[in-house]
Amino acid sequence: MKYNERLIQSGLLITAFSTIAILILIGVFILKEGLPVILKVGIKDFICGVNWSPIEEQFGIFPMIMGSIWITAGALLFSLPLSLACAIYLAEFSTPKIGKILKPTIELLAGIPSVVYGFMGMVILFPLIRNYLGGPGPCILAASIILGIMILPTITSISIDSLQAVPYSYREGSLALGATRWQTVKMVVLPAARSGIIAGIILGVGRAVGETMAVIMIAGNAVIIPDSILDPVRTLTTNIALEMNFATGEHRQALFATGIVLFIVIMLLNIIANLIAKRKVITK
Amino acid sequence: MKIKPAFTEQIVKKILFISTAFTVLILLFIIFYILKNGLSVIDLEFLLTSPKELGRAGGIFPCIIGTILLPLIAIIIATPLGVGTAIYLTEYKREGRLTRIIRFGTECLAGVPSIIFGLFGFVLFVIYLGFGWSILSGGLTLAFMILPTIIRTSEEAIRAIPYSYREVSLSLGGTKWQTITRVVLPSALPGIVTGVILGIGRSVGETAAVIFTAGSSLRVPASLFDSCRTMAVHFYILAREGISMENAYGTAAILIIAILFINLVSYWLMHRFMAKFS
Amino acid sequence: MGDKIIVKNLDLFFDTLQALKSINLRIKTKEILSIIGPANSGKTTFLRTLNRLNELIPYAKLKGEVYLDGKDIYKEDISLPWLRRKVGMVFALPVPLPRTIFENIAYGPKLYGITSKAELTELVEKSLRAAFLWDEVKDRLNESALKLSGGQQQRLCIARTLALEPEVILLDEPCSGLDPISTAKIEEALHELKKEYTIVLVTNNTKQAARVADRVAFFLMGELVEYGQVEQIFTVPKDKRTEDYISGRFG
């Protein structure tokens, strides 16, 4: 009996390490495939190079890095006010009943497949942009709006949780001093929930940087360094997805190398979000 | 002149309300737009025949099969791993460095973009292990992707089971494992199922991780080593290559209905489960 | 009669807090020993050392010895499931498992491998009768145990413990949440059970102790102040603190 129990515990310990094992496997395989080309080109030329031309063996991903930054910044600009407003409304102003219905409703946005988002961008945003702003349609603006909607549930949901985690006594204290609800939220609740909200925003950024299919469908995918929000761009993720099907040899390695950069960025964002979220616990 | 706080309060409340309403409207708009354009395409023939001319005509039968098989493989592999991890974290280990590391790993894995899973699945399963573009490669890749979802939901569900149940079972002479399998897991089952269903939902909608591991063959798969095309991938190809907008809408409508159904069921289950234990 | 349980120099710490201080106590075979004392005096903690349930609390540390039939139950080679079947426990609040009445009673026996339906049925009936619950539930054994009233649930929990065929039964304030009629039924059951089992009853209610116990032990702030025959404790206590508590001056 005792022996069995020990066996079970060891078995469970092994399963418990599965996520870490998978993470390591992912890291190892992507590094193995992608590192040779980075070393050959040189880290600096790979990251800062502006030429991406696999036929001429030119592998510089600077335009894609800029593309990812532009689109992510645009998505945040669009998403941040909206998602924070939703979170504050649902956590602080709506009746609990409405909050209970609307929170999962907004979270449902996260369940809609990214290809559907991309498609909505194509059929709804492209004509609007063509008619009112000019250009063919696919551009940073379209991708930012769609990505903004896609990361909205992440930021909203985590923010609601952080707001609700603020002890009720904080609010009572402020309200008892004659503050209005909004003053209380602004001066007491938001500062107290700050680290959780920031962690949520960082995770939202991670989602935006990592999104692929929706961006492929609406960002235009041209390898240029953009200077207007109506320019088409290619991101790190779409660079991989666009060329993976026909890439071979060094070209394919360069795509994995793009994956390495993406993986490192995402891991850093995760670590930062985790550290910030943890700080909240300690200061309490 | 100073603006009165009560006035500001009213304005702020309106702005917040309008923002929330706007967000919900976006969701409703997407759903209604897809359904309005897609429902008319769906009939039995669309569901039960194979695509012709790359999807320009005909139905989506093989894609429905693919969309069922891939998530099925994924949950068969991910559920034992995920529930096992959740049991270890909740029942066997005190909060400490080890649980923090495992939890951190889970969070990180949850944040890994699907294209990275696609790349990884491609090298490991398709090339290195020689499974080729296949249901097996796709299912394994998806299993890794949904593992964090299943771990988190199962952990939450197991934690919701009252401590007294465990005490009772142990005091009646149960071993730890008997207590887990006979009391804790049965009670936590609805919560665990919720996590599995959410995992299915993510798999059904996934494209990037699937297209590079399961491929996009339009034939009805005959074995686990055959390539297949899911509805999400089919929809992507139809829409992006402009093959048939009509069939794209039809496929998207089925996809949306499936996603809505999956989310409603999981929400309903979790809601009932949590109401029972808190 | 001999001693069923002997407790020697028992100390228990929760981290740095000492919950039990050098307890020495002998529990006789087939008696009802009642443990009384104000809240937080270590009664429940003491009870839980007798079937090693305190080990579920990771920061609990124990020193001293507890013998059951002359065997130290804190020795390495003691199997916990074996110990807990011998020393059954009924908790303060009734916790029926979310299963049928039958399944609740049969839970323990099934754990140690009884699978024959006939054997289980017999055991369930015997246990329910002994807990004075049989007549009320015999027609609905397959209904959820959660549908029973509070008093019935507590008798269910007693029956569930009896189904283990234990030798010692620990009861932790089993009547604290119950009305007087349910309490009377449980006390009636205890009187009968005494013929077969050694019973340790923790109670907040000194009158209950006086009604059902053979001997009484008085705990205060983790210390065993005194113990002895029920008449002696309630009429001529040796310690001033016992007298104060019994006469209602504190607690």
Nearest partner of B86 among B144, B151, B147, B148, judged by Cα: B151
Pairing verdict, β C60-68 and C32-36: unpaired
Give the residue on C whose Cα is nearest the Cα of A2. C79
Predicted confidence (pLDDT) at residue A119 exceeds the cutoff of 60: yes
How would residue B1 be classed by pLDDT, with cut points 50, 70 and 90?
Answer: low
Contact C237, C206 (CB under 8 A): no
Q: What is the pLDDT of residue B105?
A: 94
Query: In chain B, what residues touch C112 (CB-CB under 8 Å)?
Result: 173
Domain positions in chain B are: 5-41, 44-277
In chain A, the number of structural domains is 1
How high is the mean pLDDT of chain B?
Answer: 94
How would residue A281 be classed by pLDDT, with cut points 50, 70 and 90?
Answer: very low
Q: Which fold has domain C3-246?
A: Rossmann fold (3.40.50)
In a domain, A21, yes or no: no
CA dihedral B166, B171, B172, B176 (to 10 degrees): 50
In a domain, A255, yes or no: yes
Nearest partner of B240 among C187, C40, A181, A126, judged by Cα: A126
In a domain, A30, yes or no: no
Query: In chain A, what residues touch C81 (CB-CB under 8 Å)?
Result: 1
* Residue A86 to chain B, least CA–CA distance (Å): 5
- Tokens for A1, please give them: 């009996």
What residues are paired with C215 via a beta bridge? C33, C229
Query: In chain A, what residues touch B124 (CB-CB under 8 Å)?
Result: 25, 29
In a domain, A199, yes or no: yes
- Contact: B27, A106; criterion CB under 8 Å: yes
Q: What is the pLDDT of residue A31?
A: 96
Domain positions in chain C are: 3-246
How would residue C250 be classed by pLDDT, with cut points 50, 70 and 90?
Answer: low
* Residue B137 to chain C, least CA–CA distance (Å): 41
Q: What is the pLDDT of residue A284?
A: 36
Mean pLDDT of B200-222: 94
Mean pLDDT of B206-227: 94
Query: In chain C, what residues touch B99 (CB-CB under 8 Å)?
Result: none
Contact C39, C176 (CB under 8 A): no
Which chains does chain C touch, 3 or more C-beta pairs < 8 A? A, B
* Residue A177 to chain C, least CA–CA distance (Å): 39
Task: Provide the CATH number for the domain around residue A145.
Answer: 1.10.3720.10
- CA C58 centroid distance within chain: 22
- Inform me whether the C-beta atom of residue C76 falls under 8 Å from chain A C-beta atoms: no
| Rounded distance between C-alpha atoms, residue C80 and residue C236, angstroms | 40
Query: In chain A, what residues touch B208 (CB-CB under 8 Å)?
Result: 114, 212-213, 237, 241
Predicted confidence (pLDDT) at residue A232 exceeds the cutoff of 70: yes
pLDDT per residue over B126-157, tens digit each?
A: 999 999 999 999 999 999 999 999 999 999 99
- Inform me whether the C-beta atom of residue A1 falls under 8 Å from chain C C-beta atoms: yes
Amino acid (1-letter code) at residue A46: F
- Contact: A211, B236; criterion CB under 8 Å: no
Amino acid (1-letter code) at residue B208: A
CATH number of B44-277: 1.10.3720.10
pLDDT per residue over C127-169, tens digit each?
A: 999 998 999 999 999 999 999 998 899 999 999 999 999 999 9
Predicted confidence (pLDDT) at residue C205 exceeds the cutoff of 90: no
- Contact: C164, B165; criterion CB under 8 Å: no
How many contacts, defined by CB atoms under 8 Å, are there between A and B? 235
Mean pLDDT of B186-215: 95
**Which of C78, C107, C153 to substitute to test the interface with B, most B CBs within 10 Å?**
C107
* Residue A23 to chain B, least CA–CA distance (Å): 6
Query: For B139-148, B231-240, B248-257, C73-82, which range has the lowest pLDDT when averaged over its residues?
Result: C73-82
Query: In chain C, what residues touch B169 (CB-CB under 8 Å)?
Result: 97, 107, 111
The secondary structure of A92-159, three-state, reads HHCCHHHHHHHHHHHHHHHHCCHHHHHHHHHHHHHHHHHHHCCCCCCCHHHHHHHHHHHHHHHHHHHH
Three-class DSSP category at C55: helix
Predicted confidence (pLDDT) at residue A279 exceeds the cutoff of 90: no
Tokens 């039968």, located at residue: B61
Contact C216, C242 (CB under 8 A): no
Give the residue on B whose Cα is nearest the Cα of C161. B172
Q: What is the pLDDT of residue A130?
A: 94
The secondary structure of B116-166, three-state, reads HHHHHHHHHHHHHCCCCCCHHHHHHHHHHHHHHHHHHHHHHHHHHCCHHHH
Tell me the residues of chain A between 2 and 61 that have a Cβ less than 8 Å away from chain C: 2
Predicted confidence (pLDDT) at residue B274 exceeds the cutoff of 90: no
Predicted confidence (pLDDT) at residue A282 exceeds the cutoff of 50: no
Predicted confidence (pLDDT) at residue B252 exceeds the cutoff of 80: yes
Mean pLDDT of C94-110: 94
What are the phi and psi torsion angles at C174 (to 5°)?
A: -70, -15
Q: What is the pLDDT of residue A141?
A: 96
Nearest partner of A154 among A120, A119, A210, A200, judged by Cα: A200
In a domain, A44, yes or no: no
- Inform me whether the C-beta atom of residue C80 falls under 8 Å from chain A C-beta atoms: no
Mean pLDDT of C166-194: 90
Please give the residue range of the domain that contains residue A135: 63-283
Nearest partner of C197 among C225, C171, C234, C233, judged by Cα: C171
Give the residue on B whose Cα is nearest the Cα of C157. B168
Predicted confidence (pLDDT) at residue B125 exceeds the cutoff of 80: yes
How would residue B278 be classed by pLDDT, with cut points 50, 70 and 90?
Answer: low
Nearest to C51 among B165, B171, B183 (CB): B171
- Inform me whether the C-beta atom of residue C79 falls under 8 Å from chain A C-beta atoms: yes
Predicted confidence (pLDDT) at residue C251 exceeds the cutoff of 70: no
- Contact: B170, C80; criterion CB under 8 Å: yes
| Rounded distance between C-alpha atoms, residue A155 and residue A135, angstroms | 31
Mean pLDDT of A130-137: 90
Query: In chain B, what residues touch C52 (CB-CB under 8 Å)?
Result: none
- Contact: B112, A26; criterion CB under 8 Å: yes
